[in-house]
Amino acid sequence: MASQKKFWQWSRGTYRFLIVLCASVLIISIIMFYKYGDELHWDAKEKDTYIETPENDTERIENGIHLRTGLKEGVGLTETINNCTTCHSAKLVTQNRMDRERWTATIRWMQKTQNLWDLGPNEEIIVNYLVTNYPPGKKGRRENLDNVEWYELKN
Amino acid sequence: MNRRKFVRRSALAAFAGLIGTDIVFGAKMTEGYVPLGAQDPDPFDLFDKDPEMVLLNDKPWNMEARAHLLDDSITPNKYMFIRNNGIVPEQNEVSDWKLTVDGESVKQQKSYSLSDLKSRFAPHTYQLTLECGGNGRAEFDPPAKGNQWTIGAVSCAQWTGVRLRDVLEDVGIKNDAVYIGYHGADLHLTRDPNKEPISRGVPMSKALQDETLIAFQMNGKDIPLVHGHPLRLVAGGWPASVSGKWLKRISVRNKVHDGEKMEGSSYRMPCEPIAPGEVISDDDMCIIESMPVKSLITHPKSGAMLAKGKTMDIRGHAWAGELEVGKMEYSIDFGATWKPCSLEKPVNRLAWQRFSANIAFPKKGYYEIWAKATDTKGLSQPMILPGWNPKGYLNNACHRIAVKIT
């Protein structure tokens, strides 16, 4: 089966990569320790070290949207991601539009029934973020049909 | 241990690490099977859904169809909406699956294996309309909380299984039985084992209907995992949330079932109508039973352009919960005039009904085709939104498509 083969190839690839990675780290560490061991300062406070981390693609924000979650960029985004996307998808947030009272009531309901923790000082930050970025709009009793994709009908 | 076995076992360990829990029956897992928790979460691949389906939520999985995808008389899996409340159970080995019937109102608790169910009771097949209670929620103003379904949370597949009634008779039911409640194998989103994501049910009168099934097949094949494999309670015409997936247990209750999403405002409507946005106490909310009359134009797809002088064939489906649809009409002038559609009888009770019409347009321009079904008790679909309610249920406002005559 193709899926089996793909899975096997994937596993093999992953393990090869891991083995090579571990081996390289080990060898480089030994060499470095041997060459520069004496110069090492064991107390980290003595010397500032900077670790460069490559920018994580999935945490990028483009056109005001946090790519991984689809949430809008704004004050409180991080707190919202950390507290509101552990159990459910951010899509449940981005689909909904509520005022302050109803977003707060939703948090209370999750705390009462869905194991949501006490948000502490983050609650105000999160509710402000939600009300600012996902407030209710007026739809009336029936909206116009929009986003119509026009096409020639062949009978 | 050969290399292949080693790779597979280490991969299992890695999966367990990723998921953060041991994989029960991991040793029995089919080669090449990747547990759901570790899979690349492309739900279209994962659940064999058409790429034109619309993903609403990925944790839990929720996906809806678009009107033109629902044109088949019998909805195929690829166009069937997904509404999940919890996490799809990791499940590959079902030979030891048991269905238990218990509760205050059984004469004895009894369990059945899949083969018991298949061999001891007569199989029945019905085409059953399943519509999410919140289908159409997206239109409510003020907005209602939850997944914002537009029109596509409805399906009418063919379900095969045994009658719940036959199984309940075999178990023996006491006279004080009021309700049945289901329990499934899905996990709560928090993975808290003491919580159920959903556990709803129906009164005995619905439980004992011919068409209420403990189903093991959908459209002639094993039920797809995301739709409840290996067993699903199917009760057509009612909110689809009463058709419990991954069925492990049925409790026969001496009171209205009080499982998860039976109480509060879940799947309930204001007992007395309220104004849009009005705050209402949970005590004044009543459980939804039959779904209301509704219809969808499944052909043509909205946006059709046609040359003047040509006529347009339209078709779709209409359904009416527990009832039948008695009349189907369309309008091209925003409800000023209505013309009849031809309407077929359902293949069985609780199945949707095909309608069709051939439309001539008086002049060039923009039109909307509106469809309106009327049930056998004379209730019709409203043209604007029906009664506002806090959770946005039961929007059966008539379906509209846009067309242009050029």
CATH fold group of domain B294-405 = Immunoglobulin-like (2.60.40)
Enumerate the domain spans of chain B.
1-39, 61-287, 294-405
- What ipTM score was computed for the predicted complex, to two decimals? 0.84
Return the pLDDT at B106: 98
A chain contacts of residue B142, beta-carbon cutoff 8 Å: 99, 136
Measure the CA–CA gap between B1 and B237, rounded to whole angstroms. 54
Return the pLDDT at A8: 74
Return the pLDDT at B35: 52
Q: How far is A8 from chain B (nearest CA, A)?
A: 7
State the CB neighbour count (10 A cutoff) for residue A123. 15
B chain contacts of residue A153, beta-carbon cutoff 8 Å: 300, 304-306, 312, 403
Q: How far is B34 from chain A (nearest CA, A)?
A: 8
**Contact state of B189 with A88 under an 8 Å Cβ cutoff:** yes
Return the pLDDT at A33: 60
Return the pLDDT at B282: 94
B chain contacts of residue A102, beta-carbon cutoff 8 Å: 145
Angle CA(A139)–CA(A131)–CA(B282) in degrees, nearest 5?
A: 75
Name the average pLDDT for chain A: 83
CB burial of B298-323 (b: ≥16 within 10 Å; e: otherwise) equals bbbbbbbebeeeeebebbbbbbbbeb
Look up residue B11 and give its two tokens.
């991969």
* pLDDT tens track for B158-167: 999 999 999 9
Return the pLDDT at A121: 96
Return the pLDDT at A155: 64
Q: Which residues are within 8 A (CB) of B370 and not within 5 positions of it... i.e. 6 or more apart? A: B330, B331, B332, B334, B335, B383, B398, B399, B400
- Evaluate if residue A65 carries a pLDDT over 50: yes
DSSP E strand stretches across B164-230: 179-184, 201-203, 213-218, 221-222
Measure the CA–CA gap between A113 and B49, rounded to whole angstroms. 32
* pLDDT tens track for B73-82: 999 999 999 9
Q: How far is B127 from chain A (nearest CA, A)?
A: 29
B155 DSSP β-pair partners: B130
Give the residue-averaged pLDDT of A15-26: 79
Determine the residue of chain B that is closest to A152 in CA distance: B305
Name the average pLDDT for chain B: 91
Determine the residue of chain A that is closest to B383 in CA distance: A142
B chain contacts of residue A139, beta-carbon cutoff 8 Å: 139-141, 143
User: Contact, B383 vs B398, CB < 8 A?
Assistant: yes
- Nearest CB to B190: which of A106, A115, A152? A115
Residue closest to B47 by CA, chosen among B58, B185, A89, B71:
B58
Least confident of A14-28, A85-99, B39-53: A14-28
Return the pLDDT at B245: 98
Least confident of A131-135, B32-36, B91-95, B226-230: B32-36
* pLDDT tens track for B8-36: 444 444 444 444 444 444 444 444 444 55
Measure the CA–CA gap between B32 and B19, rounded to whole angstroms. 17
Q: Work out the percent of chain A whose per-residue pLDDT is above 70.
A: 80
B221 DSSP β-pair partners: B218
Q: In what order do the strands lie in the sheet with B54-58?
A: B54-58, B61-64, B82-83
Q: What confidence category does residue B51 fall into, taking pLDDT thresholds of 50, 70 and 90?
A: very high
User: Contact, B235 vs B243, CB < 8 A?
Assistant: yes
User: Contact, A126 vs A119, CB < 8 A?
Assistant: yes
**What backbone torsions phi and psi does residue B330 show, to the nearest 5 degrees?**
-130, 160
* pLDDT tens track for B328-351: 999 999 999 999 999 999 999 999
**Contact state of A87 with B189 under an 8 Å Cβ cutoff:** yes
**Contact state of A91 with B139 under an 8 Å Cβ cutoff:** no
Determine the residue of chain A that is closest to B7 in CA distance: A11
* pLDDT tens track for A29-63: 777 666 665 444 444 444 455 555 555 677 899 99
Angle CA(B63)–CA(B65)–CA(B69) in degrees, nearest 5?
A: 150
* pLDDT tens track for B112-157: 999 999 999 999 999 999 999 999 999 999 999 999 999 999 999 9
A chain contacts of residue B301, beta-carbon cutoff 8 Å: 151
Q: Which residues are within 8 A (CB) of B106 and not within 5 positions of it... i.e. 6 or more apart? A: B171, B172, B173, B174, B252
**Contact state of B384 with A102 under an 8 Å Cβ cutoff:** no
Interface test with B, best of A110, A148, A154 (most B CBs within 10 A): A148
**Contact state of A145 with B401 under an 8 Å Cβ cutoff:** yes
- Nearest CB to B385: which of A97, A142, A151? A142
- DSSP secondary structure letter of residue B28: G
Give the residue-averaged pLDDT of B359-382: 98
CATH fold group of domain B61-287 = Sulfite Oxidase; Chain A, domain 2 (3.90.420)
User: Contact, B396 vs B299, CB < 8 A?
Assistant: no
Q: What is the CA radius of gyration of chain B?
A: 23
- Nearest CB to A98: which of B4, B140, B145? B145
Identify which has the larger pLDDT, B230 or B11. B230
- What is this structure's pTM? 0.81
